[in-house]
Copies of this chain bind each other. A is one copy, B any other.
């Protein structure tokens, strides 16, 4: 097992789940994607996140994804897995089903569907932590669960050893900076990763330890270069990479007739198909794939940002 005693930091893309035209996991595409990420130099992989379409899978599919991912990664980098469900009992059930895989931690959201308050959120994380020896990451994603995890609560969970880190997809950069500052003042019990693809540079300045960029499936090398530049304090390089990645991120705004993951994850899948890594851009039902002129516009952005060229030269390379 690849579990390391050092905390997971750096670039940890939320792995997309390539599908066959029939909607099954497309293993050859998955192998190409994992190869693409490892070649790009990522520090870890986050399976079964929102970008992995976890919300759309039944239990058997979740297991199939974990089996395929851990088998393909084969311990080359740490893998953490989302155990995302409505409330505590189902989350713990997902943890139990995942224990047999080579995983370095679980990613847990606040409970959702039924409204809960801070007391229930606290009890939820503690109950899940009690069900496993592996580290937990709190996933702060109010756009999906409609509750914001308070900085003070996250820090307390970190101090108590309940969670090891936070994946912040809250869109609240002010809250993130306050969390980062409070975490530092407390001796950094938490590792902080940002999920917002085009403001990772600002998150690094604020104190992020890494990023979980959905767009990192498309251009892992770019995020890795940005991370290394941030570590060495080369902020002009950080900014240059971020600006280029922000230009690439415009692909998610092209499918104007779609919302949510049908637009965002759909754009990533479409890009990976255009780059020759995915065989299809099929989405989990009830979503449908991006088609028509939206694909053309995505392809044009790939060209403008130099992605197609890299792929044509036999895969992404350092620019």
The tally of residues in A whose CB lies under 8 Å from a CB in B reads 69
> Does chain B have a CB within 8 A of A38?
no
Count this chain's copies in the assembly.
Answer: 4
User: Are A173 and B144 in touch, CB under 8 angstroms?
Assistant: no
Q: Are A259 and B58 in contact (CB under 8 A)?
A: no
Separation in Å of the A252 CB from the closest CB of chain B? Answer: 11
The answer on a CB contact under 8 Å between A196 and B173 is: yes
Considering the complex, give the chain B residue whose CB is closest to the CB of A91: B58
When the two chains form their complex, are residues A239 and B205 in contact, meaning their CB atoms are under 8 A apart?
yes
- A173 partner, pick from B122, B145, B202, beta carbons under 8 A: B202
Flag whether A53 is at the interface (Cβ < 8 A). Answer: yes
Contact status B57-A89, CB under 8 Å: yes
A116's partner among B111, B143, B260 (CB-CB below 8 A) is B260
Q: In the bound complex, what is the Cα–Cα distance between A206 and B90 (angstroms)? A: 39
Residues A115 and B259 in contact, CB atoms below 8 Å apart:
yes
Residues of chain B within 8 A (CB-CB) of A181 are 243, 246-247
Does residue A178 face the partner (Cβ distance < 8 Å to B)?
A: yes
Q: Which residues of B contact A84 (CB under 8 A)?
A: 113
Is A6 close to B, CB under 8 A?
no
Asked if A205 contacts B235 (CB within 8 A), the reply is yes
Chain B residues with Cβ under 8 A from A284's Cβ?
87, 89
Task: Verify if A112 is at the interface (C-beta below 8 Å from B).
Answer: yes
A61 adjacent to B86 (CB under 8 Å):
no
* Distance of A154 from chain B, by nearest CB (Å): 16
Judged by a CB distance under 8 angstroms, whether A288 is at the interface is: yes
The reply to whether B144 and A262 form a contact with Cβ atoms under 8 Å apart is no
Q: How far is the CB of A168 from chain B (nearest CB, A)?
A: 12
Q: What 0/1 readout, one digit per residue, does chain A (230-263) give for beta carbons within 8 Å of chain B? A: 0001011011001100110010000000111110
A30 at the interface (CB under 8 A from B): no
A290 to chain B, nearest CB (A): 13
Interfacial chain B residues near A238, Cβ < 8 Å: 205
Q: Which of A33-73 contact B (CB under 8 A)?
A: 50, 53, 55-59, 61
Contact A88 B285 (CB under 8 A): yes
Q: Is A93 an interface residue (CB 8 A)?
A: yes
Query: Interface residues, chain A, CB within 8 Å of chain B?
Result: 50, 53, 55-59, 61, 84-90, 93, 111-117, 119-124, 127, 143-146, 171-174, 177-178, 181, 196, 198-199, 201-203, 205-206, 233, 235-236, 238-239, 242-243, 246-247, 250, 258-262, 284-288
A-B contact list, 13 entries, CB within 8 Å:
A50-B114, A57-B90, A58-B90, A84-B113, A86-B86, A88-B285, A88-B286, A117-B262, A173-B199, A174-B198, A178-B198, A202-B203, A202-B206
